[in-house]
Amino acid sequence: MTTEQVAVDREGLRKDTRKGLIGAFWLAVMTIIEYIIATQFEGEPWMLWALLPFVLAKGWIILDTFMHIRALWGDDH
């Protein structure tokens, strides 16, 4: 492996790791927000609608960042 290839690989690894950590950060933030809303406003009828966007956003982060769903139509990998 040449020095250039090693540099490209290191850059790729750094980029992918950063991408994963950013996804993880948003998952953590949204999980905590979900928890705070649910425990502070317990029993409110609008709870499901308030938390649904967070659930969907978290699901999309996992599908996109971690599961590379876009590889299915060739945008990733």
Q: Give me the residues that bind another protein (CB under 8 A), please.
A: 9-10, 12-13, 16-17, 20-21, 23-24, 27-28, 31, 34-35, 38-39, 45, 47-48, 51, 55, 58-59, 62-63, 65-69, 71-72
Give whichever of 63 and 75 is closer to another protein, judged by the CB atom. 63
**Beta-carbon neighbour count of residue 65 at 10 Å?**
19
Q: Which is nearer to another protein, 20 or 75 (CB)?
A: 20
CB of 30 to another protein, least distance (A): 9
Residues 6+ apart with CB under 8 A from 69: 63
Quickly count helices (H) and strands (E) in the chain.
2, 0
Asked if 63 contacts 69 with a C-beta cutoff of 8 angstroms, the reply is: yes
CB of 73 vs another protein, minimal distance in Å: 11
Task: Find the shortest distance in angstroms from Cβ 18 to another protein.
Answer: 10
